[in-house]
Structure 1
């Protein structure tokens, strides 16, 4: 795992590498396959990134969302861009399924279930599934 030299942000459980970002599993039992997409270069705020980097980051978000949606069988992917309190710019990609979500038409923060990490076996399976899905499209982590 590589950490950012500027802020020490670490992407846990990496599964893919895209044009300007890396993607890793965010262990959340409520939303299996939830992932974090972080810019490889450090920016405290997306507004500080050059326009080209910001545009490519959005393309990476869309590309990763398609992969995660297909791999998890999600109906859609909710996206939340974050850089709270000077943290590394990153996006949460949250798979949503009408057949599993108690409030599928609300944001993931409004989910009534308590946040808890995936159990070890489902977590390992999610990492393997996502890593394979990114690898199939040439965005695996072997080059990171």
Structure 2
């Protein structure tokens, strides 16, 4: 399904987006966000700067720049939170704006060894805790 930028929460930068996540920083060709739902401590999302429906629509140069942004964020997440593994999710069934879910997994944490839940709705933090996580990521970007 291809979505219209007028209906895209990333393009519209709307209240729905800000209820789900907090923007951390712009990157070379994307934006990085911290998920407010923190069942997976340090979970982030990287969204491409323009409304692109799928990875294959990018030129090689654009794709490489986007994947460099994704890698930059996962390196920062690894340094900040020390997960055992980071899972990558590129789902776009209902919202086809190119984005990657970056989900840290911990040996004794939720769903280790399995698929992460999109929005478990269990763990929300105080504003100061979100800010502390954002600063830890920014420091390592």
Q: TM-score, normalised by structure 2?
A: 0.76
**Secondary structure of the structure 2 residue equivalent to 1:32:** coil
Q: Aligned runs of 1:63-102 on 2, under 5 Å? A: 63-101=72-110
RMSD across aligned positions (CA) = 2.5
TM-score, normalised to structure 1's length? 0.75
Unmatched runs of 5 consecutive residues or more in structure 1: 140-144
Number of equivalent positions: 129
**Partner residue of 1:130 out of 128, 133, 139:** 133
Is 1:32–1:118's contact at 8 Å kept on the other side of the alignment? no
Residue 86 of structure 1: how far off its partner (Å): 4.9
| Aligned pairs (5 A) from 1:27-106 | 27-101=36-110, 103-106=111-114
CA-CA distance at 1:84 after TM superposition: 2.2
**Gapped runs of 5+ residues in structure 2?**
none
Please give the alpha-carbon distance, in whole angstroms, between the structure 2 residues aligned to 1:25 and 1:42: 20
